[in-house]
Structure 1
Amino acid sequence: MSTPTQTNPMATGGDDFSLKAILRPLMAIIVGMIMVILDSTVVNNAIPKLVEYFDTDLKTIQWTVTGYTLALSAVIPLAGWMADKFGSKQIFMITIALFTIGSVLCGIAQTPEQLIIYRIIQGLGGGMVGPIGMAMVFKLAPPERRGSIMGVLGIPLLIAPAFGPVLSGWLVDSVSWHWIFIINLPIGIIAFILGYKYLPKSDRHAAPHLDVIGMCLAPIAFSMLAYGVSEGGTSWSKASTITGLTVGGIALILFIFVELAQKQPLLELKAFKSSDFTRSIIMTWIVQLPLFGTMLIVPLYLQGVMHYTALETGWILMPYALCAGLGMPISGRLFDKIGARPLAFAGLTVITISLFILSGISVDTSLWVIILCICILGLGMGFTMMPLNTHVLNSAPRRLVNRVTPLTTAASQVVLSFAVAGLTGYLTSQITSHAESAGADANPLNAVVAGYGDTFFLSACIVAAGVALSLLLRKPKQLEEDGTVGGDNPDPAMMGH
């Protein structure tokens, strides 16, 4: 069933279509998505200030990032169901409001525990903004103009991550860390008003069965595993580590069994029956794990060891996003000609080289060496991620392609949370180990720098494994599945099921 709604004249195509006709609703979506993307980039640069302000440790504060990303991963698969049940416009506005409220709460947090809880609220709102926003743009544009419209959408979304660390640095240095969150209030209000006025009313469809058991098991599994990995950075034998990994492992096993038995699962795990798909998505995780973690570790090093301000750190990090933005369109054109394997091999190789150079870091290492490595990391990411993501979709069984997007998007957020929890825990443990080995008379800075070097070396080894695996990539064979899977997603743009 569906409720009567306005039709969308902009999506009918024809010669009378112009960008101006879609500009207002497009602006509402862009403002909302930029707000969420900026928030994902501003917090990393503020981590050292948060540790100092709350007088706590890195292992605690990293949960402001880990909790946020786990919340994102929990709600991303629900985007399609929520849009079908309640309408895309309504859910987009509700999630914008929830994200904005969470941002204000973060800005007035008095303890690290409060900040972590409020960041989770942010994540619950922010997780649906991107998938639903992209789906609405897909619906608004006529088929023959979708490429150009999505290109217009991509420009600000590509620029936002480059300026996020700079904005964060300026706010932290010139005002206070609270404003990296409070600044979302006016942006959120603007997005809400634009959405209310200009987004077309959306149809409500008969929503499919909601996988409630899977929805409950997934957050338990991923959050407890992330907690166990974080605690393991200190000691793999202590009770909290064993408890986290055990509870998370049991929940994950139950989640897998439940999802495989469901006709309409929360995440379509049947895609892993394709060996091509499995190889390519594991490759993607291998790239994401060290890159996500490194882009949290580098600001910590720049501010904690080299004593740059948050604003200076933001400028230093900007080349990463710019180089990634430069590499993506080039790799996109090359992918159509030569496929994923040579691009993944080349990109992963330069990432590995960059991380190995960083692993030799010392108190005398020049800033220009770090900037060069950051640029190489960005280029490597730009040349690797788009081909791998496209290869993942091409490798999925044809009947499952529409359901693979929420799987890969949610998995990316889980990998991000593991990267942050695991690498920050490892960094802390290595610094402690080097300090204890050096003795009381040694310069403590040497132990800190050695800990960072070890962390970069671990990241380099992970990516090096990806270089070897990239040689196993092959042109995927699209597989037809039998009728055991529920019907196709009626909306190929919607990142839900």
Structure 2
Amino acid sequence: MLRVFQNPKVVVSVVFVAAMFMNILDTTIVNTAIPTIGAQFDATISSTGAVSSAYLVSIAVVIPASGWLGDRFGTRRIFLVALALFTTSSALCGLAGSLGQLVAFRVLQGVGGGMLTPVGMAMLFRVFPPEERIRASKILTIPTAAAPALGPVLGGVLVDGLSWHWAFIVNVPVGIAALAFGLRYLPDHDDSAAETGRFDVPGFLLAGAGLGALMFAITEGPSRGWGSAVIVGSGVAGVVLLVLLVRLELRVRFPMLDLRIFRDRLFRSSTLVVLPSSAGFLGLLYAFPLLQQEGLGRTATESGLLTFPEAIGVMAGSQVVSRIYRRFGPRRLMAGGATTVALMALVLSRFDGDTPAPLVVATMFVLGGGMSFVFIPSQSAVFANISPASTGQASGLFNALRQTGAAMGVAIMATVISVVGTSATGSPSSAGPGLDAYHAAFFTAAALMLVGAAMAWRIRDADAARTMAPPSSPHPTAPAPQAGD
């Protein structure tokens, strides 16, 4: 057993999966607990929304700096610091005695969570060479597929059976175990090849403020109203700051976000697939439980059990993708997977209370399987031609855009459900939106997935040749990045 832990690929995989599962699970569990938190602190819906938005905004602010921090101080050190911070702040959230304390501790938790994903992904793709990236991508599907589906079930059990405090405390034992394991076995990685230069203070301020403001507008828009002054102001400010960021970062030698990475055609194309696909998929996982609970009157546990086959589908599909990726390449697999998810979203738009449960389970399973054909090829190919020295920067960019896509998906679905639900009756109904509102959300998710499928056809399999080579063969020469192509 100890010899296994001497393999850096095994150790990085174990620590990364544990940390990411905890990080992603936290978001879905907390969403389940928010109504109970609001009731205990006698807070309004907009006030309790800060519990989620504070976390997401904090993540958006930190992600841009994660690549520089990992390259400057070492990915192992930063990852373990982030894991310790996330675990400690989870305990503090569970002990919070007021809504203000809880929001403050959620900001701290977001700082840790914002560093975990990009730094952990950089570690993962540095220990797995390009021809083994398909294996690394299979590892990534475990937390990204299982956690969103398991969260509502576990959240319902913890909140109903114990208290909302356990929605945060549940992270603590997992975090302590992962931290102890990482301190003992996680190897040091030589990050000396990455030139960091001085900390890009203007770039950090523009990126953090811009992404933070934009994320606030996206996450709070559905509840506060897209026409409200604070949302419009925040959104406009975010866009303006990000435009200034682009102009600045293209002029400095060591930028906070190295936007020159987008000159790599494969990185650019893969990111353009992931952005709408993440929005469509996470939007589906947001709207489906709402349909089951608010639209059809099922419990959180019942809703979670109907959602969970999606995770099984992703993990089952990953086994298929890993076997055929080298033969078919990312282009056709990603396009076919996104199209499959779009078709399943259209099937969901026909469901109601009389739909047999086995049909719901089968649809969610196929939906998850289709999404694995998007997840794994995109994660395998996106860094194919990125040098090890630039992997940290590329991971920060990729995760910032993926996080933005996920937030946009949830915001879009919430808005569609609200607008259609209101227009159907002429005013908001105390009974909640009708089924037409949820069906409209599924149509919207299908449209987003079809956009992702269209973007996938722009990918050139030849650009991903390094990831398609057999593990035992020499690396083929990677095509040179083609700027403006």
Shared fold, TM over 0.5: yes
Distance 1:35 1:88 in 2: 14
**1:381 positional shift:** 0.7
Aligned to 1:210: 199
Which of the numbers 16, 19, 42 marks the counterpart of 2:4? 19
Give the residue type in structure 2 aligned to 1:211.
D
Please state if 1:229 is matched with 2:218. Answer: yes
**1:181 positional shift:** 0.8
**1:330 positional shift:** 1.7
Distance of aligned partners of 1:203 and 1:354 in 2 relative to their CA distance in 1, 3 Å threshold: closer
Give the residue type in structure 2 aligned to 1:373.
T
Cα contact 1:42–1:167 (8 A) shared by 2 = no
Please state if 1:459 is matched with 2:445. Answer: yes
Give the residue type in structure 1 aligned to 2:436.
A
Aligned to 1:14: none
Cα contact 2:49–2:220 (8 A) shared by 1 = no
Aligned to 1:345: 335
Distance of aligned partners of 1:241 and 1:401 in 2 relative to their CA distance in 1, 3 Å threshold: same
**1:61 positional shift:** 5.0
Distance of aligned partners of 1:240 and 1:365 in 2 relative to their CA distance in 1, 3 Å threshold: farther
Aligned to 2:469: none
Distance of aligned partners of 1:320 and 1:160 in 2 relative to their CA distance in 1, 3 Å threshold: closer
Distance 2:243 2:230 in 1: 20
Q: Which moved more, 1:190-199 or 1:295-304?
A: 190-199
Please state if 1:474 is matched with 2:460. Answer: yes
Q: Which moved more, 1:26-35 or 1:362-371?
A: 26-35
**1:482 positional shift:** 10
Distance 2:196 2:450 in 1: 44
Give the residue type in structure 2 aligned to 1:326.
A
**1:22 positional shift:** 4.6
Aligned to 2:314: 324
**1:256 positional shift:** 0.9
Which of the numbers 161, 173, 177 marks the counterpart of 1:190? 177
Which of the numbers 154, 158, 163 marks the counterpart of 1:171? 158
Please state if 1:268 is matched with 2:258. Answer: yes
Task: Name the SS for the 2:383 alignment partner.
Answer: helix
Distance 2:47 2:102 in 1: 11
Task: Name the SS for the 2:237 alignment partner.
Answer: helix
Render the CA deviation track for 1:224-255: whole Å, top value 9, x for unaligned: 22333345546544322321221111111011
Aligned to 1:4: none
- For structure 1, the residue ranges without an aligned partner over 5 or more in a row are 1-16, 484-497
Distance 1:150 1:66 in 2: 30
Please state if 1:125 is matched with 2:106. Answer: no
Mapping of 1:2-13 within 5 angstroms?
none
**1:183 positional shift:** 1.8
Cα contact 1:319–1:374 (8 A) shared by 2 = yes
Aligned to 1:284: 274
Distance 2:137 2:221 in 1: 43
Distance of aligned partners of 1:285 and 1:149 in 2 relative to their CA distance in 1, 3 Å threshold: closer
Give the residue type in structure 1 aligned to 2:90.
S
Distance of aligned partners of 1:125 and 1:349 in 2 relative to their CA distance in 1, 3 Å threshold: same
Task: Name the SS for the 1:263 alignment partner.
Answer: coil
Mapping of 1:145-184 within 5 angstroms?
157=143, 161=147, 163-184=150-171
Which of the numbers 406, 411, 415 marks the counterpart of 2:401? 411
**1:98 positional shift:** 1.0
Distance 2:233 2:123 in 1: 42
Under a length normalisation based on structure 1, what TM-score does the superposition of the two structures give?
A: 0.78
Task: Name the SS for the 1:320 alignment partner.
Answer: helix
Distance 1:135 1:111 in 2: 37
Distance of aligned partners of 1:183 and 1:35 in 2 relative to their CA distance in 1, 3 Å threshold: farther
Distance 2:135 2:338 in 1: 31
Distance of aligned partners of 1:156 and 1:135 in 2 relative to their CA distance in 1, 3 Å threshold: same
Render the CA deviation track for 1:293-328: whole Å, top value 9, x for unaligned: 221222233233333333333332221111111112
Task: Name the SS for the 1:339 alignment partner.
Answer: helix
Distance of aligned partners of 1:107 and 1:308 in 2 relative to their CA distance in 1, 3 Å threshold: farther
Task: Name the SS for the 2:461 alignment partner.
Answer: coil
Q: Which moved more, 1:263-272 or 1:248-257?
A: 263-272
Render the CA deviation track for 1:14-63: whole Å, top value 9, x for unaligned: xxx9315459x966973575144234125425524422441467666555
Cα contact 1:344–1:470 (8 A) shared by 2 = yes
Distance 2:375 2:130 in 1: 26
Mapping of 1:76-115 within 5 angstroms?
76-110=63-97, 114-115=101-102
Aligned to 1:50: 34
**1:452 positional shift:** 1.6
Q: Which moved more, 1:177-186 or 1:368-377?
A: 368-377
Distance 1:476 1:32 in 2: 30
Q: Which moved more, 1:395-404 or 1:276-285?
A: 395-404
Cα contact 1:68–1:122 (8 A) shared by 2 = yes
Give the residue type in structure 2 aligned to 1:285.
L
Task: Name the SS for the 1:264 alignment partner.
Answer: coil
Which of the numbers 233, 239, 243 marks the counterpart of 2:233? 243
Distance 1:454 1:444 in 2: 18
Cα contact 1:230–1:425 (8 A) shared by 2 = no
Cα contact 2:417–2:437 (8 A) shared by 1 = yes
Distance of aligned partners of 1:150 and 1:421 in 2 relative to their CA distance in 1, 3 Å threshold: closer
Aligned to 1:256: 246
Distance 1:59 1:142 in 2: 44
Give the residue type in structure 1 aligned to 2:158.
L
Distance of aligned partners of 1:332 and 1:130 in 2 relative to their CA distance in 1, 3 Å threshold: same
Distance of aligned partners of 1:60 and 1:462 in 2 relative to their CA distance in 1, 3 Å threshold: farther
Point out the structure with max Rg over C-alpha: 1
Distance 2:49 2:321 in 1: 32
Distance of aligned partners of 1:281 and 1:52 in 2 relative to their CA distance in 1, 3 Å threshold: same
Structure 1 vs Structure 2 CA RMSD: 3.9
Under a length normalisation based on structure 2, what TM-score does the superposition of the two structures give?
A: 0.80
Residue correspondences, number = 461
Render the CA deviation track for 1:36-91: whole Å, top value 9, x for unaligned: 42341254255244224414676665554444344334334434433454444443
**1:432 positional shift:** 2.9
Distance 2:458 2:442 in 1: 25
Render the CA deviation track for 1:388-420: whole Å, top value 9, x for unaligned: 333433476999666423211222122222223
